[in-house]
Structure formats: structure tokens, C-alpha cells
Amino acid sequence: MVKLTRSDGEEVAMANYNTSKYRGVYYNSPSERWIVQMERLNHYPCFTSERDAAIYAEYHYRSLYDDCPNFPNLSDAELSSEYEKVLKQRDTEQAMIRSHSKQGLKKMKNTASQYVGVGKKDGNRWGARIQYHGKQIHIASFSISKYNDAELLAAKAYDKKALELFGENARLNFP
């Protein structure tokens, strides 16, 4: 049994999949997310915040069942406003998750680099690329010479761009 602290500070014992204090909201331990599960929804959206999941559930309870189990004191206008905020936040989180999950994957062919995001472009150049919001971004190319290590320069260029795009969550070659 795992101990979990809810968003309101209450500590509860959790199994792998347990309910929250809100109707239709469940905590999934493996994914560490709050999931909205309702009979008439054919998908199960997940959220990082228990309250966000509860707002999503409340909105759908009101539209599908004409019921107000989680936030009966919220007017329909207030709930709609909160729901729109939750959807925007969720879309942003999902975009970052998709983008970050692909960040640092070696996609260049014939890469023999030991560094993330670096690949050999041809016989005498190393290139750095990064994936961001589903798009491949070319960062730089460096020619091999006896005066510099092109692979190392490409790795440093990758790190600089990764920090710019992903901040403290970036996967870096040189921490």
C-alpha cells in the first residue's frame, strides 16, 4: 500500500488505482496522473492535478446527467470558465509531454555519436538536431578539422538549444 498526499493535504492509502474525494476522478499510480472515468465518456482524459480532473468531470456530469456532484456551488458560467482554463492547461501539458518524449532521440542515420541529438551528416561534418512540437529543427553543422572536435561542438550546440526550448527539463549531454 502506498501513501499519497492529495492536493488538499489529506494523506490517504492508495492501491494501484484508487478513487479521489471527487466523483468520477481516480488516481493512477503507474502514470502518476488523475484520470476522469465516466460511464458515457469513451475516453479517459488524464490530468496532473486532482482539481483539474474534478472540474473536467463536473462539466461533463452537468452536460450528460444534469448532476452537480463535485462543485455544486459553482454557477454554469464559472464552471465553463474553469473548464476552458483546464483544457488550455491540459493541451499545453500534452504538447510538452509529446515534444519532450521525442527530445534527444537519435534519428539521424549512420550516427556513431556518443552524444544526444548529434549525428554524422557526411564524411566530414557533424550535425545537431532537436525535435520540438513534432518538428525537426536543424541547429548547426560543424566540419571536422585538426583544430576542433566537430562532434563535441555539435553536442554543445544541441545542449544550448535544448536549454532554450525545454529549460530545466532538457535532456543534456553535459549537465
Q: Return the minimum-mean-pLDDT range out of 32-36, 69-73, 89-93.
A: 89-93
Q: Coil, strand, or helix at residue 89?
A: helix
Q: Which of 25, 28, 52 is closest to 41 using CA atoms? A: 25
Mean pLDDT over the full length of the chain? 78
Q: Coil, strand, or helix at residue 153?
A: helix
Contact (Cβ atoms closer than 8 angstroms) between residue 19 and residue 25: yes
pLDDT (tens digit, 9 = 90+) per residue, 3-60? 444 444 544 444 345 578 898 898 888 778 888 887 777 777 888 889 999 999 999 8
Instruction: Provide CB contacts within 8 A for 86, sequence distance 6+.
Output: 47, 52, 55, 56
One domain for residues 12 and 59: yes
Strands across the sheet containing 46-47: 17-19, 25-28, 33-36, 46-47
Task: Say how far apart CA 59 and CA 41 lie, in whole Å.
Answer: 12
Domain for residue 110, yes or no?
no
pTM value surpassing 0.75: no
pLDDT (tens digit, 9 = 90+) per residue, 109-146? 545 688 888 888 777 788 898 888 778 889 999 888 87
One domain for residues 30 and 78: yes
Number of domains in the chain: 2
Domain for residue 174, yes or no?
no
Domain for residue 80, yes or no?
yes
Q: Give the residue numbers spanning the domain of 65.
A: 2-102
